[in-house]
Structure 1
Amino acid sequence: MLRTIFLTSLILAIAIGGGAGSVQYALDRFEGFGALDVGQWSAFPAAGTPDSDPYAKARGARDGTLALGAAEGLIFHASRDTQGRLLDRNCTYRITGKTPPARFWTLYGADASLHPLPPQPDMLPAIHSRQILRAEDGSFVITVSPQAQPGNWLPVSGSGPFVLVMTFYDTPVASSSGLSDLVMPGASLVEGGCHG
């Protein structure tokens, strides 16, 4: 009888532990369904809507995040440069191009869990559409680097990989009609731009 209780307890522990572990693994590793990929940028237009997939809902509930609704905006993530290499906090990148139409957008660096990177002393950890310098055609160049740079500079701190998070607010991109001919800026590694 003691053997039966032990085996039953062992099976329950394996089933519950294995189930919880597999859910945790899926939420940490699987980004979800319905991804919109534009160059190196990815977004999930259905996030925050009733059509959101169960993984996105569970991840939001676990992390306590509130996704933007379809009429509010859209969040894009980029974890690799234009050559397909992981973004590294010790390197300098140049983000060039134009953005889709939006009333306002922000750009910041985040860790793998999409938590903002700790700011450098006396520096803002993000850059937004109303503070950047633009060329006559509306394009811009933003330098992402741990070291101060002239022009539009987005500071990053620490070491290891990071993710660029670009959020567009009040934009037609968030609706299905705005997804055609979508253009996003590209992030390329500056030649010789890795330190340490």
Structure 2
Amino acid sequence: MLKQSILIALAIAIAVGGGAASVGMVLNSQEGIGAVSVGPWTAFPDIGTPEADPYSKARVARDGVLALGRAEGLSFVADRDSAGVTLKSECNYRIEGSLPVARFWTLYATDRAHIALKSGIRRDATLHSLEVLRQPDNSIRVAVGTRPEPGNWLSVTGVGAMNLVLTFYDTPIASSTGLSGIEMPRIVRVQCNA
């Protein structure tokens, strides 16, 4: 009788623990149900809509973020560079290329817990479309790292894995048909101090 009770308790512990671990893995992954990937960037277009899947709703609840509706905008997150290597805050990167059409966009860095990284100096750790310098072909080139760079520079500090978040507001790509054929900028590792 005691042996059977112990086996039942063990089976319940394995089921609950395994279920919680698998849900945690899905929620921390940038791939999966409802995800749309363009190069290193991943978005969940249905996250702020009634059609959102249960995992998207759980991400919003866990992170405490205000999800954008389809008519409001779309956020893309990159946790790897264009070569597929994990982004690290101690490394320097260059974000270059064209952006989709949007009325306004922002770019900032977060840690893996989705908390915005602090800037190492008295400078905002966010770039936005109204302050960025553009190339002659209207593309952008942004340096990401700890050391100041000429032109567009996103200052980050710390050590460890990071994400880059690029959010487009009032954009046609947020519609269900707008995601086909869009072009997103590349993320190129320049140097790593680790």
- Same fold by TM (over 0.5)? yes
Task: Give the SS at the match of 1:164.
Answer: strand
Q: How is 1:26-105 mapped onto 2 (pairs within 5 angstroms)?
A: 26-29=26-29, 31-105=31-105
Q: TM-score, normalised by structure 1?
A: 0.87
> Are residue 122 (structure 1) and residue 135 (structure 2) matched?
no
What code does the residue aligned with 2:104 have?
Answer: F
1:121 deviates by: 3.2
1:7 deviates by: 5.3
1:187 deviates by: 1.2
> Residue 181 of structure 1 aligns with which residue?
181
> Residue 157 of structure 1 aligns with which residue?
157
Where do 5+ consecutive residues of structure 1 fail to align? none
Where do 5+ consecutive residues of structure 2 fail to align? none
Root mean square deviation of aligned Cα: 2.0
> Are residue 136 (structure 1) and residue 136 (structure 2) matched?
yes
Provide the C-alpha distance between the structure 1 equivalents of 2:178 and 2:103, rounded to a whole number of angstroms. Answer: 14
1:147 deviates by: 0.8
Provide the C-alpha distance between the structure 2 equivalents of 1:13 and 1:82, rounded to a whole number of angstroms. Answer: 40
1:144 deviates by: 0.5
Check 1:184–1:160 CA distance in 2 against 1; reply closer, same or farther (3 A cut): same
1:22 deviates by: 3.5
Residue-by-residue CA offset, 1:125-153 (whole Å, 9 max, x unaligned): 11000001112321121101111111100
Check 1:10–1:124 CA distance in 2 against 1; reply closer, same or farther (3 A cut): same
Higher-Rg member (1/2): 1
Residues paired across the two proteins, number: 194
| Cα contact 1:32–1:56 (8 A) shared by 2 | no
> Residue 192 of structure 2 aligns with which residue?
194
Provide the C-alpha distance between the structure 2 equivalents of 1:38 and 1:8, rounded to a whole number of angstroms. Answer: 46
Q: TM-score, normalised by structure 2?
A: 0.88
Check 1:151–1:106 CA distance in 2 against 1; reply closer, same or farther (3 A cut): same
